[in-house]
Homo-oligomer: A and B are copies of this chain.
């Protein structure tokens, strides 16, 4: 199985199957409504800075794909839309392009389509360790990247028969790449990042963490479907038992933000309200992938439409929490309930402090 072929499988399964879990941690959160916002919605400034560039709102299309010729159109549609709306965009793992130069254009087309926005490259921590810090420069050059996400996907690797599960040295590899021309973003792919890991990453020089928490697409689940298709029942079982493994996204946001990281909230961010909830919990911005995949197979205007619904819901959540700018939203009261509250409290955080206006965002 080539890396490229696997990418197509992933896309097909995400489009056709139920790849999310039953529990939506974001539903445990409730922003406190302000009946009298005191501001005009039209005066609200949803913009923010990310990687030295302006965004229309604190959002990125998370890295999804690339590496197979058929994925180019998806990436281009995403990029055109991100450029038009003014959000950041990540690409899928660029590993395939390191291996086969002819698929480079499935990635580089993103920058051509979106010259002005922050674009985030992508490589696995294992490949970084193997390739050394100089691989970051090659990846950045390929797409004129504003940052490179080093993904930590040891769960997904673990549930595949030939998965790469060499995690030793990953943090050292990240450290060695942390003072290059482009900044490094540490990024999980669905199991979240705990406070323990956030502190290790900060110590290694990483300032931005994309939590990729539990609650959105389950890559264990995707691998379970793939394994079932090829009759590999053992791997299918593995994928199923690990389906819900990980740190839920809101918990991961809190743990990483309290550690001092700049946090991108991803994993189950399914509306602009979830973006706003993320920021009230301490994230700098949020990202999502799955909701844009189906539109991207249709055309860039469909992606634009989906992004605009996100932005409109985000602006409305700002409006209804009396947040004139994103900085205000950071201190908006948010009530944390249910299982998410239980986890936070077990892990040593007081949910109660989020439920009232906080003088300082962090």
Contacts and interface: CB of A to CB of B under 8 A. Distances in A.
A193 interface: yes
A335 B343 contact: yes
A224 interface: no
A155 interface: yes
A247 B31 CA distance: 9
A241 B33 CA distance: 14
Contact of A309 (B35, B170, B238, B320): B238
A108 to B, nearest CB: 29
A180 interface: no
Interface stretch (A72-80, A111-119, A134-142, A158-166): A158-166
Interface string A280-321: 000000000000000000000000010011001100100110
A101 interface: no
Q: Considering the complex of A and B, which 10 residue pairs feature the smallest CB-CB distances, nearest first?
A: A41-B165, A346-B355, A35-B152, A37-B167, A241-B271, A158-B316, A40-B166, A33-B191, A33-B246, A40-B168
Contacts of A347: 32, 335, 355-356
Given A34-B196, A337-B346, 9 more contacts: A32-B247, A33-B191, A33-B192, A35-B154, A38-B167, A165-B319, A196-B333, A237-B313, A335-B346
A120 interface: no
Given A165-B40, A165-B41, A167-B37, A352 B342 contact: no
Contacts of A316: 155, 158-159, 238, 242
Interface of A: 30-43, 125, 152, 154-155, 158-159, 165-168, 170-171, 186, 188, 191-194, 196-197, 200-201, 214, 234, 237-238, 241-242, 245-247, 271-273, 305, 308-309, 312-313, 316, 319-320, 333, 335-339, 341-343, 345-348, 351-352, 354-357
A356 B309 CA distance: 40
Given A30-B343, A348-B352, A35 B191 contact: yes
Contacts of A271: 241
